[in-house]
């Protein structure tokens, strides 16, 4: 129990560019995705899925991001377009958590979206537990239809996050957290 609390209270994001190799092994990736899929899910709909970007595939996906950027900004300098190509190659592993939330007769869509957030958070925590660090980011391309099409997202699907995973550069400094007195109240009649 202490170990679990230690893990939860020491987790910190690092910038994607700070995350280095080696990438998680195939077995570790299985563990990461298994933990990510082990979340509360009203109606057992599995309203999320994962897309893994590793090795050269990160650059192929980056090509789609760069193409979308160039289409959006036709006057963009080549070096800026090229920087976009590196987007998913900053960390050795990136996992896109895709929300598949959709209208349902019984289960509110909102709850399906929350389940995708839980999957993303479990993935981040599992990475930490395995000795990696993570950064949960979306950035502009998570909202660009051209990019989403290229990554194979259906029209209703949305990116909950691109979870960047790699070895941390060192120990994490914490950032200020909201005081409990600001965010928690006790209900009294």
Ligand X SMILES: Cc1cc2nc3c(=O)[nH]c(=O)nc-3n(C[C@H](O)[C@H](O)[C@H](O)COP(=O)(O)O)c2cc1C
Pick between residue 66 and residue 97 the one whose CB is nearest to ligand X: 97
CB of 46 to ligand X, least distance (A): 19
Considering the complex, state which of residue 30 and residue 143 has its C-beta at the smaller distance from ligand X. 143
Q: How far is the CB of 167 from ligand X (least distance, A)?
A: 16
How is residue 19 written in tokens?
Answer: 């995350």
Is the Cβ of residue 27 or residue 183 nearer to ligand X in the bound state?
A: 183
Q: Tell which residue, 171, 173, 147, 163, has the closest CA to residue 64.
A: 147
Bridge partners, residue 158, by sequence = 99
Look at residues 41, 9, 184, 3 and name the one whose alpha carbon lies nearest to residue 117: 41
Q: How far is the CB of 2 from ligand X (least distance, A)?
A: 21
Which residues of this protein are in contact with ligand X, per CB under 6 A? 12-13, 135-139, 161, 175
Q: HEC states along 8-51?
A: HHHCCCCCHHHCECCCCCHHHHHHHHHHHCCCCCCCCCCCEEEE
Q: Select 12 or 42, whichever has its Cβ closest to ligand X.
A: 12
Q: How far is the CB of 131 from ligand X (least distance, A)?
A: 16
CA distance 116 to 99: 6
Using Cβ positions, the residue closest to ligand X within the complex turns out to be 13
């Amino acid at each position: 129990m202490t170990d679990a609390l230690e893990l939860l209270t020491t987790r910190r994001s690092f910038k994607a560019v700070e995350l280095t190799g080696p990438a998680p092994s195939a077995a570790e990736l299985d563990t990461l995705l298994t933990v990510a899929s082990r979340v509360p899910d009203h109606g057992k709909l599995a309203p999320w899925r994962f897309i893994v970007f590793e090795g050269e595939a990160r650059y192929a996906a980056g090509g789609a991001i760069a193409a979308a950027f160039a289409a959006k900004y036709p006057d963009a300098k080549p070096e800026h377009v090229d920087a976009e190509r590196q987007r998913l190659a900053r960390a050795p592993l990136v996992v896109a958590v895709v929300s598949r939330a959709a209208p349902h007769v019984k289960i509110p869509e909102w709850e399906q979206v929350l389940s995708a957030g839980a999957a993303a958070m479990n993935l981040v925590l599992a990475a930490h537990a395995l000795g990696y660090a993570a950064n949960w980011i979306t950035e502009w391309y998570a909202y660009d239809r051209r990019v989403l099409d290229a990554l194979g997202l259906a029209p209703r699907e949305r990116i909950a996050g691109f979870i960047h995973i790699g070895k941390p550069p060192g120990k994490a400094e914490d950032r200020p957290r909201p005081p409990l007195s600001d965010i928690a109240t006790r209900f009294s009649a």
